[in-house]
Structure 1
Amino acid sequence: MPQTPKPLSPGLKIALEYGPLIVFFLAFMVMRDRMVTLGGREYGGFIVATMVFVPVLALSNLLMWRLTGKLSVMQLLTLVLVVTFGGLTVWLNDERFFKMKPTFIYAIFAGILGLGLALRRNWLELVMGEVLPMRHEGWMKLTQRLALLFLGLAVANEVVWRTMTDTAWVNFKTFGLPIIMFVFFMANARLFSHYGTDRQD
């Protein structure tokens, strides 16, 4: 009988989830003012950082899957879009594709959550219900708020990459987006407490 994979320690989980992003940030900061010639083509620091980020993220997801036996829908979708847009960025030597990637990710998730609400199916509850026990009304409110947040983040990403410098966008992606998500869930602590349940009813 196969062994059930052990849950990851908090430190290892954080390292696997945010490590690739930190690697991207460090690679960009080191290479942002440099040009690298590979295969007869010149690449700027942003493209080089993308070359580093894509395989590191793939390796991180592989390790996550080997250690836990599963990947979330968001992790799989993110990996597919990173490989797709990262590949286009390197292949066409055009950083705009990689910068658009968060827009597509957040827009897709906003659309999925919005469609679920329209169909009266709370997919967020189905995915996270065991991790965060909460009454159905609470999940409906959280889903509405999260859909709006994802939509707002998609718009914010478009504004930042189209109007600001590469460094500003990298800082926004590396630090701004995770901080916004953290603040969002902290701001909803009262909702979790009010609608929380141990599922023993």
Structure 2
Amino acid sequence: MADKDINPMTKTALELGPVIAFFAAYLWLKDRIFTIGGTEYGGFILVTAGFIPLMILSTALLWKLTGKLSKMQVMTLVLVVVFGGLSVWLNDDRFFKMKPTIIYLVFAGILGFGLMRGQSYLRHVMEEMMPLAEEGWMILTRRLALFFFALAVLNEAIWRSMSTEIWVYFKTFGLTAAIFAFFITQGKLFETYGTKPDDDSGSEG
């Protein structure tokens, strides 16, 4: 399927909409208990059950409108379905809370594996957005791999030691803010190793 142009607002709504809906629904239902088929379910489990089809729908619409999905989007959807499904099936919120840990460990592992081979896999997915010299890509990849590993550890520490409500706030806002802050702090690297579109791939700007 050929790539298609999409309104940036529509794309953002499809990417962030399910997460915002999850957060709003959790605040609404967090203190309620539902009895279904003789089994009691907390609000978090019910919200997770609703989040799974919403995530599938938004990802399908994104694919239909853009004609493509990144490997990151596909993997995230698979993990949402698997770990969210386990949480609902077993009535245990721990599986869904572990999902960010798995995602960030996988990201760190993939980037680390590429670095061991002397390659920046990050370059393959982000080069069009921010062209860098080869050395810049290697530095950024090392930093991001360590950053993802730190996020995985942080997620584990928070969901295991703090309340579900604190974890939901962390998942919705904390992780997003952390990733944004990471790239903001890489300004010096982008300035030092940034290249112009018509520069040779190995030249430094």
TM-score by length of 1: 0.95
How much is the aligned-residue C-alpha RMSD, in angstroms? 1.3
Cα distance, 1:4 vs structure 2 = 4.5
- Show the counterpart of 1:5: 4
Letter of the 1:85 partner, please give it.
F
Q: Structure 2: which amino acid aligns with 1:76?
A: V
Instruction: Pick one of 184, 190, 199 that aligns with 2:188.
Output: 190
Q: Where does 1:40-79 land on structure 2 (aligned, <5 Å)?
A: 40-79=38-77
Residue matched to 1:164: 162
- Structure 1: distance between partners of 2:86 and 2:75: 16
Q: SS of 1:42's equivalent?
A: strand
Q: Kindly state the Cα deviation for residue 193 of structure 1 after the two structures are TM-superposed.
A: 2.3
String of CA shifts for 1:117-169, please: whole Å, max 9, x gaps: 00112111112212221111111111011001100000000000000001000
Describe how 1:31-110 pairs up with structure 2 within 5 A: 31-110=29-108
Q: Is the 8 A contact 2:119 2:138 kept in 1?
A: no
- Work out the CA distance in 2 between the residues paired with 1:198 and 1:66: 32
Secondary structure class of the residue paired with 2:40: strand
Contact 2:2–2:67 (Cα < 8 Å) also in 1? no
| 2:179 paired residue number | 181
Residues 89 and 96, structure 1, Cα contact 8 Å, conserved in 2: yes
- Does the CA-based 8 Å contact 1:27-1:52 persist in structure 2? no
Instruction: Pick which of 14-23 and 158-167 moved more.
Output: 14-23
Q: Flag the 1:165–1:125 CA change in 2: closer, same or farther, 3 A.
A: same
Output the CA distance in 2 between the equivalents of 1:54 and 1:4.
26
Aligned residue type for 1:171: Y
Name the amino acid aligned to 1:12: T
Distance 2:177 2:188 in 1: 19
Task: Give the Cα separation in 1 of the matches to 2:2 and 2:73.
Answer: 23
**AA partner of residue 51 (structure 1):** A
8 Å CA contact 2:35–2:41 kept in 1: the answer is yes
2:110: which partner in 1?
Answer: 112
Q: CA deviation at 1:3?
A: 6.3
Matched letter for residue 131 of structure 2: P
Aligned length in residues: 199
For 1:97 and 1:34, locate their aligned partners in 2 and report how far apart those are by CA, in whole Å: 20
Q: Which amino acid aligns with 1:82?
A: V
Instruction: Tell whether the 8 Å contact from 1:31 to 1:46 is kept in structure 2 after alignment.
Output: yes
CA distance in 2 between counterparts of 1:24 and 1:101 reads: 15
**Identical aligned pairs, as a percentage?**
56
| Unmatched runs of 5 consecutive residues or more in structure 1 | none
Q: Which moved more, 1:41-50 or 1:191-200?
A: 191-200
The 3-state SS of whatever aligns with 1:47 is: helix
Partners of 2:44 and 2:193 in 1: CA distance: 44
